[in-house]
Structure 1
Amino acid sequence: RAESYMQSTIQSYGGNPYGRLVEMGKEAQKVGVIKGILLHQGETNSGQNNWPSRVKAVYNDLLNDLGLKSADVPLLVGEVVRSDQGGQCGGMNSIIANVPSTIPNSYVISAQGLGHKGDNLHFSSASYRTLGERYADQMLKVLKYDEGGNEGGGNEGGQGQGNEGGQGNEGGNEASGIDPCQMTTSMTSGQKAQNGGTHDIGNSGFNYEMWTNSGNNASMEYKAEKGKFQFKANWNNPDDLLCRIGLFWGTGPKPKDLDGDLHCDFNYEIGSGSSGGGYNYIGIYGWTKSPNEVEYYIVENTFFGSTSKQQGLYYNTSSKGTYKLDGETYEMWVGTRTGPSISGNSTFTQVFAVRKSIRKCGHISVSAHMREWEKKGVTLGQLYDCKFLCEVGSGSGSFDLKYGNIWIGEESGGGSQVVTPPVEQKPYKEAISIPGVLEAENYDIGGNGNAYNDSDSKNEGDAKFRTDEGVDIVKGGTGMAVGYTSSSEWLEYTVNVEKTGKYDVIANTSNGNGSIKFDLYIDDKNVASFSGSKTSDWDTYQELTATTKEITAGKHILKVKFESNNNNLDYLKFVAPDTTGQQGGGGQQGGGGTHIESGVYPLSYSVENTGADCEDPSSLNKNNLKSCKTLPNPFEWADGSGKVTDFCDWSCRRNEIKREIEFWEIGEKPKFDKLEASYSGGTLTVKVYNGSNTLTLTSKISVPSGNGPHPIVIGMDGNTGSLSSSYFSKCIQVPFTHSQIAEYNSGMGGNGRSQNDPFYKLYPNTFNTKADYCAWSWGISRLIDGLEIVKDQINADLGHIAVTGCSYAGKMALYAGAFDERVALTIAQESGGGGINAWRVSSEIGSDVEGISNTNYDWFLSSFKSNFQSQIDKLPYDHHELISMIAPRAFLAFGNPDYTWLGDAAGYASLLAAEEVWKSMGIEDRFGYVIEGGHSHCQASNNQNKAAQAFINKFLYGDDSQNTKVRTSSVTKVYNSGKYDWGGHKIVNNGCGGAGLSELIDLSEESEKNQLSQNRPNPANSETTIDFSLTQNAFVTIDLYNSIGVKVMNIASDNYSAGSHSLTFSVDKLPQGIYFYVMNANGFVESKSMIVK
């Protein structure tokens, strides 16, 4: 049967490839059962319209020769590279799409979004992996659903009901890859429905409604998850019963304005002998509202066993003709009715689209029906709801919807297209003012999954307030409170913040079962956390306090997210910010609330990213990229509006570079829900939570003797990377094991990492959007989080953290130091291409060095290559800017020109350019490099070892006598792409974070007499003394805060008599940096700054 051009391939299988296939199948049957057949077509049959029938012939032969049945062994056929991905044979997919209509029990595996390897024919390795996963997902679905039998359809018709019998298999839903007629497993463990009202079902995106006048004569149970719902109904002479589940908008768009079409899949069974009275319907049901109120039905069956007009069916309507859709003829009946409706009692239009032959399972193209109605003169309004319905007027019986799904999207396209309808979120009454009191029960309108997240739809509250929703509101506190909460549940509130600043928040809360824990978010950014101990019972409330991060003035969405179970929340009281405190950066784009004294350049910070609140750069849009053939200016704002001249703006410019590298090169470091850490037996253990997924990091750390505080070194795959551990003898040595995050692949083909790597299991849908250097740098930051938690146990100095590594681990150290500002010293040894090297220069040097064309695309996003390999001048940054992200902190790089692959000329160009950033701040002693050979890879030369010791002694141990102005290279060639014309720039530091705290205005009328003195000595390194004087007896508090406003110590809290006083306290466990202390004496407030060295 084969074409002549395939004869040579045939010979490689002994002249009979089919025979070899049968032989292999029989071998497999000796040890197992064949559950499916997978086929992926290449380009050789492109354009052959008879290909599906030829496949069918081979498939049937194979079934016969192996003794298999089609019903038991599905055929899965994969698409080729699509045309929109540059596929040369993409047109073949329209032929492949005909397979399910040609071969029973067959499925098409989508190649949507999967790119080729550069030849426009074959998938890239990453795309092949994703395609394989799609085969596996479909096969698992088929295997899972076969367990329930095949009683609801199939090609031979389903089990009969009434006198008509089932109508057979309508065809699978390509959107989810599920054939609804194979979904024959009944619901178990459903929830009992409430009579009356509409109710959201957890986070499923679906809403249910049950209504009856019959009390105990009817019931409904339901169950739903994303992409699937089920329900059962029972009745015995009810006075009407309506049971329905689907999508609910309230006020939604018109059908034609949806982002895609409405679709429904279903499979149901009617109980033997069931009847439904004079009128009854099974099918789609819903309403549209203003400007046209329409009640609509798509009737697939009735309890008469026929859909023909009889008794009370389609009452007071007249026929508007027929149309063909979903494989059958539908007759359209339209009438006008006056009575109860979604707007009360009104006159509205009724539409019945009635299928000529009944069916128990299949697919309904809802939007296509609606378009037919409009052709016949029915004008629909805004969507109110769209649900699958069982409705009876009386009678007795049962109904079992075994599978239902309603979604917005395409009928084909791969992956479940379930979309929660766009419910408008709005304040319960009006936006809550801050400062002011937020009553917990006044959460926004918008429903479950939109304005709140409640794990079950049952309302257990006893306050009888907002009972149509799942949030449990109880009597308690100052009136009502939100109760019966579970971890990960949340509530949202529209708030209007009067003034930019940090707010003190008082939370009135209780928990009679365990600890209290919840977080506050503004526009999904964490701004405060609350924790408290168990209360004696739920009726005993306690006030917890916290201070938010800076919140900007204006309207926001505030989220309360519970992190423990059984919290009751009464209210949150927001107190106006102290206007004498820090007011944020003084630069053009603001450097955040960090206070920095004039001329002081921090060696490290207390946060991972000081620019986290800054805006994303315009360069994340490909249309905004401009050509730059030489190294881009690191001082210039991404939109070209000017250059950074104020140090207070550097945090935002640095964040622009960070976002560019994340967006184009490695992927964005993801957020997490919770992190826990412990230290025991010399092992640091960090556990990170993302929803129900977890990842655990462990590090066997080495703690030096003595009381500390001890600096920290994090070594990439070793206690101290590739440098001698003797240099770090006074440090806590913390090895980072990269395989606890993602496996390392040394090859250049991108075949190493796996979705089973811990990071990609923690974030399961990020395999194609986050690369290894994103994952690894994220993991190092989580180790630092853990060190912060256990710092007191190990006497850690968090102000002096170093990271170091060599080769691929040198890149790892570079990304770790660049992306986490808590790192004081970064040592990147022989990091090569993708590390310190400028991509532009590597490209100019050619293929002998690691560049965009030949690096490892496990490490970097594959899109980075496709976007910039042929137009590297459009790259909006280069790696001199990755290095620059470390400024003003300390950085040291080593190269080794004996190894051509390292491309040290590209590294040298990048270092020369990055040096300009440290020079602009006048802190060149924090920047160094030594590029010289004469030693093995990752074995430092004498000069490199000396430089390492000097940087470690100065920036970890505080020895300012060390000479760190070390910048030497045996490579001096400068390529054209490594040139720049923006050198000599200056950045001025006149102080950030508002006025210096020593200049704050006294708030008391006694300010001229009460006094707070500067600490002595200042700077302090072991202990220091504060003097203060009072004009009268007072209760005095003196608290110490770090540079970002976090309280780190209470120095005084007692009654003091009038007169002079001195307090001496220890600072030896505090990290080096700037602090401020605040005294409050009966309303007199004064502050001073101090330095710990």
Structure 2
Amino acid sequence: MLAVAALAITGAATVVARTAEPGALAAPVEDDGADCPVTLPGSLPATAKLPDPFRKADGTRVSAKSDWRCRRAEIRELAERHVYGEKPAKPSSVTGTVSRTGITVTVSHNGRSAAFSASVDLPSGTGPFPAVIVVGGFGADTAAIKAAGAAVISYDPLAVGREGTPRTNKQGAFYSIYGSSSSTGLLAAWAWGASRIIDVVEQSGGTILRADALGVTGCSRYGKGAFAIGAFDQRIALTMPVESGSAGAPIFRGIAGESGAQPLSSAYGEQPWLGDAFGSHTGNPAGLPVDTHQVVGMIAPRGLFIMENPHVDWLAARSGSVAALAGAEIYKALGEGANISYWSDVQDGTHCAARSEWRAPLQQSIQRFLLRTGAAPGVFRVSPRKAGNLADWRDWQTPTLSDGPTTPPTTTTTTTTPPPVGDDCTASVSVNQWTGGFVATVRVTAGSSAVNGWTVEMALPPGTSITNAWNANRSGNTGTVRFTNVGYNGAIAPGQSTEFGYQGTGGPPGSPPTCSAG
């Protein structure tokens, strides 16, 4: 456990500069876009739909993958200003130690200082080891993390930003440095503390822990923290929030309409997790110029594995699936569609349980993003209990960005069919492909007449098999597969669309789908 302490830390280590290794997606610095000029308009129009993540502050759209660096800087500024509060840059002095059992951190800035510590649990072997920061002791299965070859850093965020305090008198190491009346919420404060741990790991010289192979996980409120930590520090190679609920991954705009989900006013008032400025948006999320799908984009193209629980309504898993599906469009545009995974299709409804369904993609993610072996899981398993429909939430399309992808190559193809004679709908397919698998998003669009029920048929090539689908019923997994609407997306107004998706192994569909109404 961490504790704020007044003890002096001796023997400060030498800072070791590092550069990104070939194939590594984590950045060598906390904020790679800190030099980007960001000028935001005084006000942005309110919209019930998710803001277009590809539209820059000047009104133009991102056209190249290289543009995302500074577009991310704009999103970060929006997120700080309206959601989290400011996460300050590295303080003037950060020192500490790394041992095989713990990490100590001492921070000094503007004449103020604070200290805290974290415990370390190493896997078998000699190291140096990649490591996963486990926020608050609750997150992804730590036994599975260690079995995959990564160390566990147990981080108590309450030493950095304490819960149970009023917004006007926040406590903990962060607020000892920046003031108890700081408008920064606990999640950004926790992210700041995690970044200072990373600073010390960097300074340690890499004899025990590798600063270039770090992940983060947490569950429930600590899942909210893990999500923020991964978004605000680009040195994190793998982010794994678990059941983060309102103020975590789920889109703010969807929570009010999701039965039983924790209201935004409750999430804002329960603890000062969110920045003080968010209070003006709890009753009007449509007025937010940013939403959590863009926070997912702040993590892109680094590794992200979102785990959700559809059995507890309070956790807003439907809104979480929308955030993941919309954020996946950013990953797709950046050519790294396999680097985001989402899994809510679980049997066990116990909150923060270590689930067997997550073990394989968890360990595969650690191997890919921390050990740099194997391929990213690129898996989407959306529970039919809480399946969001991205088409209901966006009025923007994903651009094809210039510049070649890095690792692994991802391709996007789109095929469209005209309405068959006697029917009045079309189907188009967007494919996210990686070695050995793909995710397909199918858009069903009504013609000049309303559609009340639809069927899409798709011929899969030999060797291709569907492993999962969402927002549609399906018959068969190979050959010619038929998809039909589910109860909530069968009615489509003239000219409007709905979307469903599926994941498969092998090659993507090559021939156009057919769509029939009725």
1:635-646 matches, cutoff 5 A: 635-640=54-59, 642-646=60-64
Is residue 264–residue 283 contact of structure 2 (8 Å, CA) maintained in 1? no
Question: What letter matches 1:950 in structure 2?
Answer: Q
Give 1:646 shift. 1.5
Partner of 2:240 in structure 1? 827
Q: Distance in 1 between matches of 2:201 and 2:346?
A: 36
- What residue is the counterpart of 1:713 in the other structure? 132
* Contact 2:161-2:170 within 8 A present in 1 as well: no
Alignment of 1:829-978 (within 5 A): 829-845=242-258, 848-857=260-269, 858-866=272-280, 868-935=281-348, 936-960=350-374, 963-971=377-385, 973-974=387-388, 978=392
Distance of 2:67 and 2:152 partners within structure 1: 34
Q: Please name the residue that 2:402 is paired with.
A: 988
- 1:616 paired residue number: 38
Q: Indicate the SS of the match to 1:844.
A: coil
Paired residues for 1:496-511 under 5 Å:
none
Contact 2:175/2:182 (<8 A) preserved: no
Structure 2 partner of 1:758: 173
Give the Cα–Cα distance (whole angstroms) in 2 for the partners of residues 956 and 595 of structure 1.
Answer: 13
Contact 1:710 1:731 (C-alpha < 8 Å) held by counterparts: yes
Change (3 A) 1:687 1:917: same
- Matching residue's letter, 1:612: A
Deviations 1:228-272 (A, max 9, x none): xxxxxxxxxxxxxxxxxxxxxxxxxxxxxxxxxxxxxxxxxxxxx
SS in 1 for 2:256: helix
1:742 corresponding residue in structure 2: 161
Partner of 1:702: 121
1:803 aligns with 2:216: yes
Note the alpha carbon deviations across 1:818-860, whole angstroms, 9 max, x for none.
Answer: 10000010001000111111101112336x3123222134111
TM-score between both structures, scaled by the size of structure 2: 0.69
- 1:910 deviates by 1.1
More helix by percentage: 2
1:415-463 deviations in whole A, cap 9, x for unaligned? xxxxxxxxxxxxxxxxxxxxxxxxxxxxxxxxxxxxxxxxxxxxxxxxx
Candidates 647, 651, 654, aligned match of 2:65: 647
Q: C-alpha separation between the residues in 1 aligned to 2:334 and 2:23?
A: 8
Kindly indicate whether the alpha-carbon contact (under 8 Å) linking 1:780 and 1:816 is maintained by their aligned counterparts in 2: yes
Q: Residue 810 of structure 1: CA displacement?
A: 0.5
Matched with 2:479 is: none
Q: Is the 8 A contact 1:657 1:882 kept in 2?
A: yes
Deviations 1:538-561 (A, max 9, x none): xxxxxxxxx9xxxxxxxxxxxxxx
**Residue among 674, 682, 693 paired with 2:93:** 674
TM-score with structure 1 setting the length:
0.34
Does the 8 A contact of 1:741 with 1:758 survive in 2?
yes
Superposed CA RMSD in Å reads: 3.0
SS in 2 for 1:603: coil
Q: What residue in structure 2 maps to residue 25 of structure 1?
A: none
Q: Secondary structure at the match of 1:694?
A: strand
The residue type paired with residue 78 of structure 2 is E
Deviation at 1:626, TM superposition (A): 0.7
Shift of the 940–820 alpha-carbon distance from structure 1 to 2, 3 Å rule, reads: same
Residue 72 (structure 1) aligns with = none
Question: Structure 1: which amino acid aligns with 2:254?
Answer: V
Letter matched to residue 759 of structure 1: F
By percentage of residues, which structure has more strand? 1
Q: Is the 1:950–1:964 Cα contact (8 Å) retained in structure 2?
A: no
Show the counterpart of 1:634: 53
User: More displaced, 813-822 or 608-617?
Assistant: 608-617
Distance 1:625 1:691, change over 3 A: same
Residue type matched to 2:242 in 1? Q
**Aligned partner of 1:789: which letter?**
Q
Asked if 1:607 is matched to 2:29, the reply is: yes
C-alpha distance 681-925 of structure 1, shift in aligned 2 (>3 A): closer
Once the two structures are TM-superposed, the CA of residue 902 in structure 1 deviates from its matched residue by 0.6
- Identity, % of aligned pairs? 29
Structure 1 residue 717, shift from structure 2 partner: 1.6
- Number of equivalent positions: 389
Matches within 5 A, 1:42-57: none
Counterpart residue type for residue 861 of structure 1? G
Give 3-state SS (helix, strand or coil) of 2:121's partner: coil
Shift of the 701–926 alpha-carbon distance from structure 1 to 2, 3 Å rule, reads: same
Tell me by how many angstroms 1:962 deviates.
6.2
Which residue identity does 2:336 align to in structure 1? I
Q: Which residue number corresponds to residue 189 of structure 2? A: 775
Cα deviations by residue, 1:982-1034 (Å, 9 ceiling, x for unpaired): 23322233599xxxxxxxxxxxxxxxxxxxxxxxxxxxxxxxxxxxxxxxxxx
Query: Retained in 2: the 8 A contact 1:924–1:965?
Result: no
What is the alpha-carbon distance in structure 2 between the residues aligned to residue 632 and residue 758 of structure 1? Answer: 35
In the other structure, the counterpart of 2:509 is none
| 2: CA distance, partners of 1:972 / 1:991 | 32
Q: 1:705 to 1:659 in 2, by over 3 A?
A: same
Q: Is the contact made by 2:343 and 2:379 (CA closer than 8 Å) also made in structure 1? A: no
SS state at 1:946 partner: helix
Unaligned 5+ runs, structure 2? 1-11, 407-518
Instruction: Determine which structure has greater relative contact order: mean sequence separation of CA pairs < 8 Å that are 6+ residues apart, divided by chain length.
Output: 2
- Name structure 1 gaps, 5 residues minimum: 1-516, 518-529, 532-546, 548-593, 993-1093
Measure, in 2, the Cα distance between the counterparts of 1:727 and 1:873.
38
* AA partner of residue 607 (structure 1): V
Q: Distance in 1 between matches of 2:173 and 2:250?
A: 29
SS of 1:780 mapped into structure 2: helix
CA contact (8 A) 1:647 1:989 kept: yes
1:787 lines up with 2:206 in the alignment: no
Deviation string 1:484-508 (CA, Å, 9 cap, x unpaired) is xxxxxxxxxxxxxxxxxxxxxxxxx
Q: Secondary structure of the residue that 2:326 maps to in structure 1?
A: helix
Structure showing greater radius of gyration is 1
Distance 1:909 1:655 in 2: 23
